[in-house]
Amino acid sequence: MKIGKMTERMMRAYNSGRKKLLRMVVPLLMVFVWLTSISCFEKPSEGSILIVQESSGEDVQSELALIDPGRPDQDAFVLVKEFHEVAAPEVSYQGDAVLLQAKKEPGDSWQIWEYDLDREELNQVTDVELDCVDPAYLPDGRIVYGRFVPDYSGYNVLETSKSDGTETQQITFGPVDFTSPRVLMDGRILAFAKEAHPKPGKTQLMVMRPDGTKIELFYESDQENEIVADAGLYLTADDRIVFSEKALGEEVEAQWISVDYNHPMDSRVRYEAENINDLKQVVYAPRPRPKKLPSAVNNEVETALLVCMDANLSENDAHETQGKSVKVELLGLEGSLGTVDLEEDGSVYMKIQADMPFRMQTLDSQGKVVEGPSSWLQMRPNERRGCVGCHAGHTRVPENRQPLAVQKEPVEIPLYRETIMASRMTQKEKK
């Protein structure tokens, strides 16, 4: 009997303890389930769309948010709300971070930031006095963006850096406004480019490697049209490049144009406007990573090498009307950098100061200009480049011969860059 009563008391105590435990655990489980369901409901999943929206309230702020197209009745999930203005978001190739340009306060300059979607952390990438805009991810984890330069009428040079803002490298150096950099699947950077000096030029599409080497023309409008850079630059999944173009000098509606990656100069077609909104959408999801291109830049080398096969070879008829070129002249920001005699076969081989913007023109025996001046060119440290001829086109194949110029040492162009920069500093001090 005593054992039976003890067992009965133990069972009553056990049942009582279990009830107390359940009374404590069940509410906690309910809270956990509620929080989990709210979190899953509120935070959009992969495939959601990044948007920039204005917050409600007395002080208007820009917010970076996600919307789930599969849940149209759900409010946007706000990621970043610390800024007065936000623009140009881009998702990383892994789909775990977002680059953006933003202003803390109305009078601030644009700076580049990165938001880690997994850690929910916001980190500042650039912190300089002037605007930094249009960020894009590079295949090796670095980023590229435009930094404003106040010289002349003002323009943006392209820079690269690590995502934490360290190891910054300027990769364009001429007075050319580079905007909307995009990374092609071959690893090169495609961007709008418009000369700011000596006079404003038409916007073109230029392409270069991520270290600023091999920069060349990708596409330019014909004489009757011009690119509208403010409308943006977009890449399609089938290797087409989409941008806006309008008739030159006319107040007419611009048209959306696409060109093929492989043949940009002869593949121009009108792009269907209803598909533009799809291209403009920034999707929160992993995406294919472009190729990682090796770099030949060596910052311990101060010069670069340039060879021209035949400066008299051109698609223009200037040589027929103005005579044969016998010299090539290099023009810098402050004037002539010197002239070099062409070889009998029209070739020339030069050693040029790296990271110094220059233009080229050819001269006849009387010193008159035959071709040029060209658009702004640049050579990175240790870069080696060759061209077929003046305005011969980047698709022209050279003859299978060795130019006379490369049988000699390259002609060294005087290193004017330090003198020019020092002169500019002196002029600013006088002001």
Peptide bond between residue 175 and the one before it cis (omega within 30 degrees of 0): no
In the predicted structure, residue 265 carries a pLDDT above the cut 60: yes
Answer positive or negative: Cα dihedral of 273, 277, 282, 285: negative
DSSP string, 35-65: HHHHHHHHS--TTEEEEEEEPPSSS--EEEE
The Cα–Cα gap between 287 and 226 comes to 32
Least confident of 7-16, 229-238, 320-329, 342-351: 7-16
Report, as an integer, the average pLDDT of 213-223: 95
Peptide bond between residue 294 and the one before it cis (omega within 30 degrees of 0): no
In this structure, the number of other CB atoms found within 10 A of the CB of residue 376 comes to: 22
Task: Please give the pLDDT value at position 9.
Answer: 60
The Cα–Cα gap between 407 and 404 comes to 5
Structure tokens at 286: 């992993």
Measured at the CA of 43, the angle between CA 137 and CA 139, to 5 degrees, comes to 10
> Left, alpha or beta for 323 (phi > 0: left; psi -120 to 50: alpha)?
left
In this structure, the number of other CB atoms found within 10 A of the CB of residue 266 comes to: 8
Structure tokens at 403: 């130019």
Does residue 60 or residue 274 have the better pLDDT? 274
End-to-end CA distance of the chain: 110
Q: Which of 199, 200, 147, 196 is nearest to 174 (CA)?
A: 196
In the predicted structure, residue 228 carries a pLDDT above the cut 90: yes
In the predicted structure, residue 233 carries a pLDDT above the cut 90: yes
In the predicted structure, residue 402 carries a pLDDT above the cut 90: no
* CB-based contact 311:351 (threshold 8 Å): no
Does residue 346 or residue 317 have the better pLDDT? 346
Task: Please give the pLDDT value at position 61.
Answer: 87
Report, as an integer, the average pLDDT of 47-56: 87
Task: Please give the pLDDT value at position 34.
Answer: 41
Report, as an integer, the average pLDDT of 24-41: 44
The dihedral over CA atoms of 176, 181, 182, 184, expressed in degrees to the nearest 10, equals 40
Chain centroid to CA 314: how far? 31
Beta-bridge partner residues of 20: none
In the predicted structure, residue 307 carries a pLDDT above the cut 60: yes
Which of 27-31, 204-208, 273-277 reaches the highest mean pLDDT? 204-208
Answer positive or negative: Cα dihedral of 402, 379, 240, 46: positive
Q: Is 19 helix (H, G, I), strand (E, B) or coil?
A: helix
Task: Please give the pLDDT value at position 154.
Answer: 95
- Please enumerate in sequence order all residues whose Cβ is within 8 A of that of 326, keeping only pairs 6 or more positions apart, or say none: 341, 342, 363, 364, 365
Beta-bridge partner residues of 64: 52, 80
Topology classification of domain 48-284: Neuraminidase (2.120.10)
In the predicted structure, residue 431 carries a pLDDT above the cut 50: no
Report, as an integer, the average pLDDT of 91-103: 96
The Cα–Cα gap between 323 and 320 comes to 6
Q: How far are the Cα atoms of 310, 375, 388, 403 from residue 313, in angstroms, in the given order?
A: 5, 17, 7, 13
The Cα–Cα gap between 136 and 117 comes to 17
Report, as an integer, the average pLDDT of 111-129: 95
Least confident of 35-39, 266-270, 300-304, 367-371: 35-39
Confidence class for position 393, pLDDT limits 50, 70, 90: low
Q: Is 24 helix (H, G, I), strand (E, B) or coil?
A: helix
Confidence class for position 18, pLDDT limits 50, 70, 90: low
Task: Please give the pLDDT value at position 251.
Answer: 80
Structural Rg of the chain based on CA atoms: 30
* CB-based contact 126:132 (threshold 8 Å): yes
Confidence class for position 424, pLDDT limits 50, 70, 90: very low
Does residue 427 or residue 169 have the better pLDDT? 169
Looking at 162-317, list the stretches that DSSP marks H as alpha helix, in order from N- to C-terminal side.
276-280
Q: Mind listing the pLDDT tens digit for each residue in 130-153? A: 999 999 999 999 999 999 999 998
Topology classification of domain 303-428: Immunoglobulin-like (2.60.40)
Task: Please give the pLDDT value at position 341.
Answer: 94
Confidence class for position 72, pLDDT limits 50, 70, 90: confident
Structure tokens at 150: 């106040």
The backbone torsions φ and ψ at residue 297, rounded to the nearest 5 degrees and listed phi first, read -70, 130
